[in-house]
Chain A
Amino acid sequence: MTPISLEAMAASVPDGALVALPPDNSLPSVALARALIRRGAKNLRLLGVPVSGFATDILIGAGCVAEVQTSAVSLGEAGFAPRFTAALKAGRITVRDATCPAIHTMLQAAEKGVPFMPLRGLIGSDILANRPDWIVQQNPFGPPGDVIVLLPALSPEVAVFHAAMADSFGNVWLGRRRECATLAHASQRALVTVERVVEGNFLEDERLASGTINATYISAIAVAERGAQPVALLDEYGFDAAYVAEYARMAKTDAGFAEWLAREVFGQAAAAA
């Protein structure tokens, strides 16, 4: 698989697409989020797998997003996600709240090719009450009155994440963060940014194989060095707390966010990154 450019990858995501993104502890591609902002993507429907972080907040702030389905949006120790909060207040986005295991379960159903999967919990929660697509049914194997929630399979049009490396065959290695493999399995296309492309085949190395996603699930690869930053990547680099704290401060206002965007996504600093 020949890597494509980050900008070509961003161009391949159509406006309005259902795009799944992992959160800040699970290998988001902040590089592709920045490229989607530069290409002026519109009306994206984001899925937080299972919650949302920095990449989601900047996409919302830049006006790329119509809807978010997620179980939470947060900047971790830096607090609430300011552009998410502002867009919700202004009525610019629709939010469909889920709860973390429900998102995993809907993806696992898609991964298995079955139409739905059950999940315990949820009954009596207003999250369920606000999800007409989730239904409560009698457990067909249980005693009368044992009800359980059924969740529809969910197959995102595009999964986007950042991995440490790809090999000559387009296999992708992401260490222990194998929840991204479920995401790739469940999605119609997986777009993966990587730190580097290396010679060889990870699937022929017993120690790498278990942290590898087979190229059959990968639609495209682009090299983006430090492509998760300011978020951490495995043991390669840490979370840049000072950067995110500065973002959280600036993005409290429309003007501050615009200034941040000009500097960090469209500016010289961004071009050099």
Chain B
Amino acid sequence: MNFAPEELLAATLARLILDPTAHPARHIAVGAASPIPAAACWLVAKQGYPVRLSLLHKRSGNPFTEGTRELFDLTGQGRIDLFFLGGGQIDGQANLNLVGTGGWPGGGADGGVRFPGSFGSAFMYFMTHRTILFREEHSPRVLVDRVANISAPGVSAPGVFRRGHAQALVTGKCVFRFDPAAARFTLESLHPGETVDSVRAATGFDFDIGEVHETPPPTEAELALLRGSICDEMVETYPDFCGRVWGRSQAA
């Protein structure tokens, strides 16, 4: 069965969402520019699991009547179980840098790169019950030993109010689990064609090696859902993505 890398990643994220050892994902929010996490959430929902999806960037039928303000209020109360975050840089303690490199705020005359910005990460990472980190690019420039700036810290000092942490980090090469007590990642599975050595060579931080297995491919049933009704749901919000991955263009 042939599948696109994006389809493998969506199926992988869906399995992490359904992880029975993690805090139950009854209400998941998906933020800006996140087509693969959105596809993963739809995959969970379309398989019949009882989950509420709040897709921030959905234009018709947007879940909120107070915009993103409502998302943050919901999350502040602990009503959002799972959120996705990424970063221009992610380090071995799961610190996220979404702001930039070089002198603060990044991308200035002294060199460095400016990323778009923190969005709500400096709040969501603390206040959501669990976070799945997702970044397709798996390279030493993204997965660094130490982020240049901490937009959102991976762990917090004792006493700082914090409801949850990273559950896992999914990249284009592998899945890492995160242990907040140790503040370290453990390699859990390798996507097809990858080895422990190829992952180590592409990763700027040190990590532990678990019982590593191959990341399971998407099933035929999952692929049928992704290419059919999930693409239908996503094409309004992510026309470029649906065109590129599934050859679908939006009806006028």
Instruction: Judge if B25 is at the interface, Cβ distance under 8 Å.
Output: no
Tell me the A34-79 residues at the B interface (CB within 8 Å): 50-51, 70-74, 76-77
Tell me how many residue pairs across A and B have CB atoms closer than 8 Å. Answer: 160
Residues of B close to A77: CB separation below 8 A: 33, 238-241
From A25, A84, A125, contact of B152 by CB (8 A):
A125
A166 at the binding interface (Cβ < 8 Å): no
Whether A126 contacts B104 by the Cβ 8 Å rule is yes
- B: number of interface residues (CB 8 Å): 54
Q: Is A124 an interface residue when CB atoms closer than 8 A count as contact? A: yes
- In the complex, whether A104 has a CB less than 8 A from a CB of chain B is yes
Q: List residues of chain B with CB within 8 A of the CB of A126.
A: 99, 104, 149-151
A86–B126 Cα gap in the complex (Å)?
Answer: 32
- Given contact pairs A104-B68, A122-B122, A182-B69, A89 touches B241 in the complex (Cβ within 8 A): no
Contact present for A99 and B159 (CB under 8 Å): no
B104 proximity list for chain A (CB < 8 A)? 126, 130
B72: interface (CB < 8 Å):
yes
Tell me whether A239 is interfacial, beta carbon within 8 Å: yes
Quick check: is A132 within 8 A (CB to CB) of the other chain? no
**Partner pick for B160 among A74, A124, A177, CB 8 A cutoff:** A124
Q: Which of A88, A98, A127, A210 contacts B114 (CB 8 A)?
A: A88
> Does B153 lie at the interface of the complex (its beta carbon under 8 Å from any beta carbon of A)?
yes
| A74-B149 in contact (CB<8A) | no
Distance (whole angstroms) from the CB of B147 to the closest CB of chain A: 9
Stretch at the interface among A13-21, A142-150, A217-225, A262-270: A142-150
Residues of A whose CB lies within 8 Å of any CB of B are: 22, 25-26, 50-51, 70-74, 76-77, 80-81, 84-85, 88-91, 95-102, 104, 108, 119-128, 130, 145-148, 176-180, 182, 210, 232, 234-235, 238-239, 241
Q: List 30 A-B contacts (CB under 8 A).
A: A25-B57, A50-B68, A72-B116, A74-B32, A76-B32, A77-B238, A81-B116, A88-B105, A88-B106, A88-B107, A89-B107, A91-B109, A97-B117, A99-B120, A99-B122, A100-B68, A100-B119, A101-B75, A120-B126, A121-B124, A123-B156, A126-B104, A127-B99, A127-B122, A147-B159, A177-B67, A178-B65, A180-B67, A234-B59, A235-B59
**Across chains A and B, which 8 residue pairs bring their CB atoms closest together, nearest first?**
A72-B117, A179-B67, A101-B72, A121-B123, A100-B120, A124-B153, A99-B122, A121-B126
